[in-house]
Amino acid sequence: MKTEIINFKIESLDSLGQGVSKIDDKITFIPKSLPGEEGQALVVGKKKGIQFAKVTALSKPSDHREEPACQHFDECSGCDFLHTNYEMELKTKQASFERLLSYSPFKNTPVTVHGAPTRIGYRNRIQLHYDLKRKTLGFHKAKSNHIAEVPGCLLPSLKIQESLKALYEDQAWIKNAPSDAPLNGHLELYELNNEVLCVWNENYAAAGFSQVNKVMNDLALQIWKEFYDSCESIGSVYDVFGGSGNLTRNFTESKISIFDNFCDKSKLSEHQKFIKTDLYKSPKVPDSPADLIIFDPPRSGFKETAEWLNDLEPRYVGYQSCFSDTMVRDLKKIAPHFEAISIHLLDFFPGTHHYESIIFLKNNRLK
Ligand SMILES: C[S@@+](CC[C@H](N)C(=O)[O-])C[C@H]1O[C@@H](n2cnc3c(N)ncnc32)[C@H](O)[C@@H]1O
């Protein structure tokens, strides 16, 4: 690609945390820039009518700009917001969630925002890409298949940070690679019982899903419990994409059916029953109803949400998601007698553009 330098002026941030500049009707997305900033950027990619660029010089920095805590921030695509203060990060996430909700039946329900106590050192699991030919290990660079090396990454817990550094020392990771490892792949470092395990080329969270940010997960559980306690007589609960029963462990007054394709049964309590099912291959609506139905799917969401709710008519509903686009898509189609009680944004992933959200609903047809 021919080298092309453009002048930019950032108007706003998009939902990925990228600056948006519109000059001569050409829309340019520029990561790691801030509203009001001006300068020059190198074009790194083009698509129909839009282009992507990387800041090369800032002539007018924003008052909200900060020195990033992480030395790799400029090159790495893992974090999006470490060049600004946390207040700005949270406001951007809230604005992008509210933009989505404004096209939904829940547009009039206010969003309660729950910020995180720490912006770094919170992940109990990270996944890195490797390239054995180029001898690189790390996260992808923005708009590139090349890997940015991140020995000083600050996102994971201190224990994982230490293990990560050790992997890079004298390229120890190359010596540790299994003999049958493909030339390109990934490895996952995760903390379990105070130890850090390193797993090569397994599916994400192959040993069972667990939320990556413990402090924020504890806060989510508290919010779920308050909601549960506010509901009247909940005999039965469907915990759909319930994993090992994280969200419903404290719902001890009810009978819980957990629908998932994987569950660590040693984590279940007596009131929780596991129903093994592949919900994407066989999303059939269950025969019997439940008082409360909870959904917590992966990023792709669950397109059958409306069918389940409109057929089963639960009295209450809760939907938690790490990708609000699919959550809003799934809930848009539900019958209008399901009304929002409250909506929450929980910042499970500070520093990045990702966040967790929860919508609680009640069925106004059944009092
Ligand atoms: C975001 S996690 C939520 C898990 C649980 N609610 C929690 O808080 O720990 C999504 C869950 O979807 C499950 N899952 C992914 N694909 C699935 C499928 N095809 N069928 C059933 N469950 C699936 C995963 O095993 C995982 O437990």
Q: Is residue 207 part of a domain?
A: no
pLDDT at 367: 64
Q: How far apart are CA 155 and CA 124, in angstroms?
A: 9
Q: Quick check: 242 pLDDT over 80?
A: yes
Work out the average pLDDT over 9-33.
Answer: 94
- Residue 231 maps to which CATH number? 3.40.50.150
Q: Is residue 72 part of a domain?
A: no
Tell me phi and psi for residue 152, to 5 degrees.
-105, 25
Nearest CA to ligand 1 atom 26: 243
Nearest CA to ligand 1 atom 12: 241
**242 and 151 part of one domain:** no
Tell me the per-residue pLDDT of 34-85, one tens digit each, with 9 for 90 and over: 999 999 999 998 888 899 999 999 999 999 999 999 999 999 999 999 999 9
Tell me the per-residue pLDDT of 330-344, one tens digit each, with 9 for 90 and over: 999 999 999 999 999
Nearest CA to ligand 1 atom 7: 246
Q: How far apart are CA 262 and CA 100, in angstroms?
A: 31
**48 and 157 part of one domain:** no
Q: Quick check: 90 pLDDT over 90?
A: yes
Q: Quick check: 12 pLDDT over 90?
A: yes
Sign of the alpha-carbon dihedral angle for 223, 158, 196, 81? positive
- Residue 164 vs residues 16, 80, 167, 234: alpha-carbon distances, Å: 26, 21, 5, 46
Tell me the per-residue pLDDT of 264-282, one tens digit each, with 9 for 90 and over: 999 999 999 999 999 999 9
Is ligand 1 within 6 A of the CB of residue 150?
Answer: no
**294 and 180 part of one domain:** no
Find the angle CA(71)-CA(77)-CA(79) to the nearest 5 degrees.
65
pLDDT at 209: 77
**184 and 261 part of one domain:** no
Tell me the average pLDDT of the chain. 94
Q: Is residue 79 part of a domain?
A: no
**239 and 145 part of one domain:** no
**Domain region containing 171:** 125-200
Looking only at the bridges linking them, the beta strands covering 184-192 and 195-200 are antiparallel
Nearest CA to ligand 1 atom 4: 243
Looking at 176, 200, 224, which one is the last position of a domain?
200
pLDDT at 140: 86
Work out the average pLDDT over 191-219.
Answer: 87
- Residue 29 maps to which CATH number? 2.40.50.140
Find the 204 Cα to ligand 1 centroid distance in Å: 11
- Atom number in ligand 1 closest to CA 243: 27
- Atom number in ligand 1 closest to CA 239: 6
- Atom number in ligand 1 closest to CA 321: 1
CA dihedral 86, 77, 353, 40 (to 10 degrees): 70
CA 316 centroid distance within chain: 25
| pLDDT band at 289; cut points 50, 70, 90 | very high
Work out the average pLDDT over 317-321.
Answer: 98
**Percent of residues, the chain, with pLDDT higher than 70:** 98
Q: Is residue 205 part of a domain?
A: no
Is ligand 1 within 6 A of the CB of residue 211?
Answer: yes
Tell me the per-residue pLDDT of 94-140, one tens digit each, with 9 for 90 and over: 999 999 999 999 999 999 999 999 999 999 999 999 999 999 999 98
pLDDT at 206: 66
Q: Quick check: 205 pLDDT over 70?
A: no
Burial class (CB in 10 A: 0-12, 13-18, 19+), 242: buried
Q: Is residue 318 part of a domain?
A: yes
**Amino acid identity at 322:** C
pLDDT at 49: 86
**253 and 110 part of one domain:** yes
pLDDT at 210: 81
Is ligand 1 within 6 A of the CB of residue 69?
Answer: no
Quote the tokens at residue 324: 């609000």
Q: How many domains is the chain built from? A: 3
pLDDT at 221: 98
**114 and 139 part of one domain:** no
**343 and 224 part of one domain:** yes
**252 and 305 part of one domain:** yes
- Atom number in ligand 1 closest to CA 281: 19
Q: Is residue 218 part of a domain?
A: yes
Global pTM value: 0.94
**218 and 259 part of one domain:** yes
Q: Is residue 191 part of a domain?
A: yes
Helix, strand, coil percent values for the chain (each to nearest 5): 20, 35, 45
Q: Is residue 83 part of a domain?
A: no
**110 and 135 part of one domain:** no
Is residue 95 helix, strand or coil? helix
Looking at 174, 200, 226, which one is the last position of a domain?
200
**113 and 135 part of one domain:** no
- In the beta sheet, which residues pair with residue 272? 256
**Which segments within 95-215 are labelled E, that is strand?**
111-114, 125-131, 136-140, 147-149, 184-192, 195-200
Q: How far apart are CA 344 and CA 289, in angstroms?
A: 26
pLDDT at 2: 82
pLDDT at 18: 96
Looking at 200, 233, 259, which one is the last position of a domain?
200
| pLDDT band at 175; cut points 50, 70, 90 | very high
